[in-house]
Amino acid sequence: MEPTPPTPPPPSPQGGPQQGGRPAPGPYTSPGMPYTAGSYAGTSGMPGGPGMPGVGPYGRPPRRTTNGLAIGSLVAGIVCCLPPLGLVLGLVALPQIKKRDQAGKGLAVAGIVLSVLSCLLLVIGIATGGIGSFWGGVKEGVDEAARSKSPFSLRTGQCFTPDGKLEEYATDVTVVGCDRPHIGEVTGGFKVTGFDKWPGEDAIDKIAEKRCETVNGEYALDTWAVPADVWLYYYLPSAQSWRLGDRTVTCAFAGEKKPFSGSVRSDATLLTDDQESFLTTVNPIETVTYREPEEDPDEDFTANKVWATELLGAINTAYAGLGQRTWPAESAPSVAALRKELAAASKQWLKLATAADADAFWEAYEPAWEALPEDLGADARTALDLTGTPPAGAAGGGTSA
């Protein structure tokens, strides 16, 4: 059942959330913060732009300069990184201010006070061991900041959690280890081409839905290892980011309701040749089942016939593909059993695909689903060290998606 995409939030340089795809495509969002008027130097609405008149009233009496050491003392006292420095700068600044009739006495005094307090805290911290805890906290904060990124900067294989709910506008994501609970996992991406100007969100969404479906399928060939409530998700460029050169769509898997733990990656780099061959041969059957039209044959007979014909083709292709390979001894019997089931299913789906009208389609519908292997080769998967049980709640053979 396809979710209705949420209304995109106000555009940002990096885009906004969007849903699309089957069976429950994820919303998209786009990284980046909105630009504000005058965000570029020299533009209207910002001092210093071309044609700006000089500023400053005439007739103002000469103004005393502020002692630089006083300013430095205050800054050093506030920063607290070198407490004695602020103290020294303040003590040197006070006689200079008096001698040169400069401003900044208050700054120097404040810098001295803050520096003295910082020195006392430093001594106490060293005596009690609190300095080590302080720097440990600083390091933890730096590490956390390093993990906080714009969605635009995500890379394949990274797991992340957005700064808000998945279906809402997000400008930042936190990258975490995939063994920890997370909302999404990046599967890859691509650049949109073929447009001289901004084509609109709907056009890019249609492209992303198809391309990311392929990207996700190649990233997670062992589809049964993907939790049932984890779906297709992607980030799109927005009209504003497009003008700045952004053409990238980032594809991902994302949890629809709750975080999940563990990577779903099972691409060709992590599989044996036998595992990859089995999955690439059988997976199209599962993929097409998810594409069953929402309209009944009585409402759209043509669409249902096209879908049944596509699934029949996937069944026949899988039957032929499984027979073209010599399988390991431990998996050969179960693969042969699956081929036998696919041969029987092909006969029933041929009747469905060639139905003359909606009544004939309904008559052949249930027998076709009953003939399709309910587990799509669970024994063969187990023998090949693949996931042998589909995730709870997942659509499989024997039921319409």
Tens-place pLDDT, residues 301-314: 999 999 999 999 99
Residue 164: its pLDDT value, please?
67
Q: Which of 36-45, 100-109, 279-288 has the lowest mean pLDDT?
A: 36-45
Query: Which residue, chain included where needed, has tokens 């060290």?
Result: 385
Q: Which residue has the higher pLDDT, 86 or 143?
A: 86
Instruction: Give residue-wise pLDDT tens across range 319-358.
Output: 999 999 999 999 999 999 999 999 999 999 999 999 999 9
Residue 379: its pLDDT value, please?
95
**Long-range pairs, 354-360, Cβ under 8 A, ≥24:** 355/297, 355/305, 355/308, 357/301, 358/296, 358/297, 358/298, 358/301
Encoding tokens for residue 154?
């995500």
Residue 75: its pLDDT value, please?
78
Q: Determine contact, residues 116/87, Cβ cutoff 8 Å.
A: yes
pLDDT band at 394 (very low <50, low <70, confident <90, very high): low
Task: Give pTM, 2 decimals.
Answer: 0.59
- In whole angstroms, give the CA distance from residue 394 to residue 401: 9
Q: At residue 202, what is the residue type?
A: D
Q: Which residue has the higher pLDDT, 20 or 40?
A: 20
Residue 307: its pLDDT value, please?
97
Encoding tokens for residue 354?
């060639």
For residue 183, which of 195, 191, 174, 192 has the smallest C-alpha distance? 174
Residue 21: its pLDDT value, please?
41
Residue 125: its pLDDT value, please?
64
394 φ, ψ to 5°? -80, 150
Q: Determine contact, residues 74/108, Cβ cutoff 8 Å.
A: yes
- In whole angstroms, give the CA distance from residue 83 to residue 58: 42
Cα angle vertex 243, ends 238, 246, to 5°? 60
Query: Which residue, chain included where needed, has tokens 């699956």?
Result: 338
Most confident of 23-37, 65-79, 262-276: 262-276
- In whole angstroms, give the CA distance from residue 24 to residue 285: 18
Is residue 24 pLDDT above 70, yes or no? no
Residue 132: its pLDDT value, please?
57
Residue 200: its pLDDT value, please?
93
